[in-house]
Amino acid sequence: MEALSEREVEELRADLVQLLGELRAQLASSAAAARPVDLSEPIGRVSRMDAMQQQSMAQANRASAKLRVQQAEAALARVERDGYGACQGCGDEVGFQRLKARPEAPFCLACQSLRERRSPG
């Protein structure tokens, strides 16, 4: 895999900044939805189940958004010290196309799938 050019790094840095903005906005707007369901609220059993399901979905979305924020911040830090684009697992180039799709990705495809196989979920 070829190393990123300066122009590519600059483009991906802009993507990271934009992604961080979107993720933070998403986290801010979903804060209310992820609050525990108030069981004392008289909304009926079915709507309560519904509310709890929505709440747990909101929580899962927030957890993944928070993880992506951390990864995007770490990726930006790597841009600052010229380490961006290198896989944090094996040191190979992650590749522009993969980073264009997920600019915060810390691992190359091989390391990523290895990790996903090792820890399901």
Classify 93 as helix, strand or coil.
strand
Applying CB under 5 A, among 8, 33, 89, 102 the residue interacting with Zn ion is 89
Applying CB under 5 A, among 60, 90, 101, 114 the residue interacting with Zn ion is 90
Closest CA to 85 of 21, 11, 23: 11
Q: How far is CA 35 from CA 55, 58, 74, 93, in A?
A: 7, 9, 28, 40
Shortest approach of Zn ion to residue 116 CB, angstroms? 13
- The residue range among 13-21, 23-31, 60-68, 100-108 that interacts with Zn ion, by the rule CB under 5 A, is 100-108
Q: Where on the chain is the footprint of Zn ion (CB under 5 A)?
A: 87, 89-90, 108, 111
